[in-house]
Amino acid sequence: MLMAIDDHNRYIGAHQVQATMASYFCPACRQALILKRGEYKVAHFAHRDLSACDQAFSEGESSTHLAGKLALYQLFKKPGKIQLEPVLTAIDQRPDLLWQHPQKGMIAIEYQCSPISTKRLAERNQGYQSQDISVYWILGPAYYHKSLRPQTIQRFMQAGILSFYLPSDNYIRCQSNWLKADFQRLKYCEKKVSGLGKESFTNPVINLNANYQRQKLQQLMLQKRVDSALIDYLYQQRRRLDQVPDWVLLGTTFGLKVPNWHFRLVIWLLLAPFQDQTVLTVASLVKRLQPYFILRPEQVFPAVKAVLLELQKGGYIGLSDGRIKVFHLPAWLD
């Protein structure tokens, strides 16, 4: 841990300590601490008897974590008041930073460098929510330097943005606007920012070729890696999966449990019965498509709406007052 209480009951940071012979105590359990610092290690405190403290989760932190949250403390000093490792006794939690922002209120900043379970993450978020404290998760180098799964991105992103901090930087790296085309790596837009504000992101460039995508889908079929029930259903409709419209193969929606071609094929099949009718609503379509997403419900609507706007732009459907009018859908191959 980086913060302790001295003999005069004052908070003091390990980086501020001058007299190494003074006594220091844990802010949570009030047990004695020892100061550790060396030529290569970040100065920090550690318990003499770890078993006596309920806040033991702060022990054993890596040098990257210690250096990172100390650097974030310096980065967020203005505007507002910020505390390093404050103890929130009401919820038995100790955020890395607690920021009293003049406009946004209390914000807990968690610098996450190691893996954390979904359950533990939810518990910490719920704890802050119970105290009307917003929380920002900033991920460390271990997360930044690996290809994150969509499920991991979804867990940590806030307002559509995923934030990273590397101790070697003096800025935060923000990622947003993820696009996931079938048979391609995940793409996104990244910006370097000096704080946590509202940033605007452009969409990354992604090039798709329907013929190439169709060939890859045919390979999956030959390898029997496509749900046979879907193939059988299409056969009963006198259709073949390898003859889907080009439009089905050109999706880039992020946050799906299934490939984009599968998702867009489902949309085509759901819209097909409503040719020249306007009884289908956007809300009902979103509800039908919810199970295909790993995203939270409030994130699904804009994702589906983006696909519908694409169909509208192509002249396939019309959108008015939350209702969908199907004119003619993209054609299948002969």
**C-alpha–C-alpha distance, residues 268 and 162, integer Å:** 32
Distance CA 294, CA 259 (A): 12
- pLDDT per position as a tens digit, 48-62: 766 656 554 454 567
The edge-to-edge listing of strands for the beta sheet with 11-13 is 11-13, 3-5, 24-25, 32-36, 44-47
pLDDT in tens, 264-295: 999 999 999 998 777 799 999 999 999 999 99
More confident residue, 223 or 49: 223
pLDDT at 316: 96
Strands 97-101, 81-84: pairing is: antiparallel
pTM for this one?
A: 0.81
Whole-Å CA distances, 292 to 110, 181, 297: 30, 16, 11
Question: pLDDT by residue (tens digit) across 85-130?
Answer: 888 989 989 899 999 888 889 999 999 999 999 999 999 999 999 9
**Band of residue 24 on the pLDDT scale cut at 50, 70, 90:** confident
Computed over every residue of the chain, the mean pLDDT equals 88
